[in-house]
Amino acid sequence: MSIPTAYQGGTSAAVPDWLNKGDNAWQMISATLVGLQSVPGLVILYGSIVKKKWAVNSAFMALYAFAAVVICWVIWGYKMSFGDKLLPFWGKAGPALGQKFLLKQAALPASTHFHGDGSVETAMITPYYPMASMVWFQCVFAAITVILLAGSVLGRMNIKAWMAFVPLWLTFSYTVGAFSLWGGGFLFQWGVMDYSGGFVIHLSSGIAGFTAAYWVGPRSTKDRERFPPNNVLLTLAGAGLLWMGWAGFNGGDPYTANIDSSMAVLNTNICAATSLLVWTWLDVIFFKKPSVIGAVQGMITGLVCITPGAGLVQGWAAIIMGILSGSVPWFTMMIVHKRWPLLQKIDDTLGVFHTHAVAGLLGGLLTGLFAEPILCSLFLPVANSRGGVYGGSGGIQILKQLVGGGFIIGWNVVVTSIICVVIDKVIPLRMSEEQLLIGDDAVHGEEAYALWGDGEKYDSSKHHGLYSEDTLHYRTTASSGATQVV
């Protein structure tokens, strides 16, 4: 019997000589893990961590963004991020749909790194799998960035405005950061370190989310005063998918299943665990009780902080980064937030500014401090790269990290503002007062839970006024957990 083409070895059409099946398998698995972080991970987390009346809307914002990004990505977004150079910070737009393009060996054409005299220092990035694997892997990163941004505007952004916002922000903001730092742009060429998205994903989503929250405006006064999670256990389920999915998030970024990938996965878990413990103990020390939502916040800040240096730092450095990621964002959220009028004025629903912008910038700077030379040589295109603690050229690396972070912050503030102003001319950014009062039923005609029978809506005349969406069983005092400030 003849063997099907797909299973033939050597240089058959389905298995070209450049294909490494292990690398290809790991890249597709990594992409799937990152995809699971969004769908269902953040869909579940967002739908559970918000007030009951916003559960459907919050989950749907994440689901819609994922689908919209996939289509925009393959039609024009991928090549703007990883294609041929158009500008020092942007690639040429174009489709990534044709068989001829998707089946050839993956390559990032602008990633060749040059010495100052113009000679080649590091050759173009050419992983041992097809472009189709690369396009999908980068697609799920783009999708989760927009979904993280949504956390800042839950509970009041007009869903129609969000539907317009997603493709515009992907096109004019995300692609710029991705090309500049990963695709061969000017920050990549200069040697700014961002192993897996501390700047490209987390700093950009945190700053853009905070900026969008300013333009959209705050939630209703009632929602801001009291915004309890509708399902803490499902919040933990979503958070768990986020944590375990981070193995693909950081483990897939060497573009190969190599020893650096293993280091990145281990460091990711070390930092996340340390950060969760530190945040929890700070809650116990200052609020006399551990907060489950606080633990989730600490887990997230640890994952975010290690991301820019996951495969570049040693295990002991990952612990230090975890200690700082569990304490610095905690301090900005629980102390600075309460005392700085600007932070209180802008209604960042889930505190994305603290958990992603602060933690992402912190991680980027700490990477510039702790990046180990040998690990850098396994990943970075610039020879002799090292963190500040290793002497030599390490001091300049911290400056590079500051400049890289500053560029992402500035670009996102300006571009996100322009996008919001333009959309608001056509579609109101904020829901109507009636929608804000009612929630999911007014916006979608659907509700998350049928609490009074099979789809029966709450009616005070039937249910004796004992319970309502804003009233919890046996709760006479407001919760003092970490989530109450956001």
CA distance 214 to 346: 5
- pLDDT-based confidence at 117, cuts 50/70/90? confident
What's the average model confidence in pLDDT over 76-103? Answer: 95
Q: Which residue has the higher pLDDT, 162 or 469?
A: 162
CA distance 136 to 69: 11
* Token pair belonging to 212: 């969008």
What's the average model confidence in pLDDT over 202-212? Answer: 97
Q: How far is CA 78 from CA 82, 151, 172, 205, in A?
A: 6, 24, 13, 18
Whose CA is closest to 305, among 394, 380, 378, 206?
206
* Token pair belonging to 122: 């590091």
Q: Give tens-digit pLDDT for 396-418.
A: 999 999 999 999 999 999 999 99
Minimum mean pLDDT among 10-14, 259-263, 386-390, 420-424: which range?
A: 10-14
Mean confidence (pLDDT) of the chain: 90
Question: In the chain, what percentage of residues exceed pLDDT 70?
Answer: 90
Minimum mean pLDDT among 120-134, 254-268, 279-293, 457-471: which range?
A: 457-471
Cβ proximity of 72 and 170 under 8 Å: yes
Q: Give tens-digit pLDDT for 214-232.
A: 999 999 999 998 999 999 9
Place of tokens 């483990």: 251
User: For residue 464, is pLDDT > 80?
Assistant: no
User: Which H or E element spans position 114?
Assistant: strand 113-114
Q: Please, which residues have CB within 8 angstroms of residue 381's CB and are 6 or more apart in sequence?
A: 111, 113, 121, 122, 188, 191
Minimum mean pLDDT among 150-164, 186-200, 372-386: which range?
A: 372-386
Cβ proximity of 207 and 411 under 8 Å: no
Minimum mean pLDDT among 129-138, 170-179, 341-350, 362-371: which range?
A: 341-350
User: For residue 1, is pLDDT > 70?
Assistant: no
CA distance 258 to 251: 9
Cβ proximity of 199 and 308 under 8 Å: yes
Task: Give the pLDDT of residue 348.
Answer: 94
Q: Indicate the pTM of the whole model.
A: 0.90
Minimum mean pLDDT among 148-152, 419-423, 443-447: which range?
A: 443-447
Task: Give the pLDDT of residue 485.
Answer: 41
User: For residue 453, is pLDDT > 50?
Assistant: no
Q: Give tens-digit pLDDT for 304-320.
A: 999 999 999 999 999 99
Task: Give the pLDDT of residue 393.
Answer: 75
Q: What is the Cβ-side half-sphere exposure of residue 226, based on CA atoms within 13 angstroms? A: 13
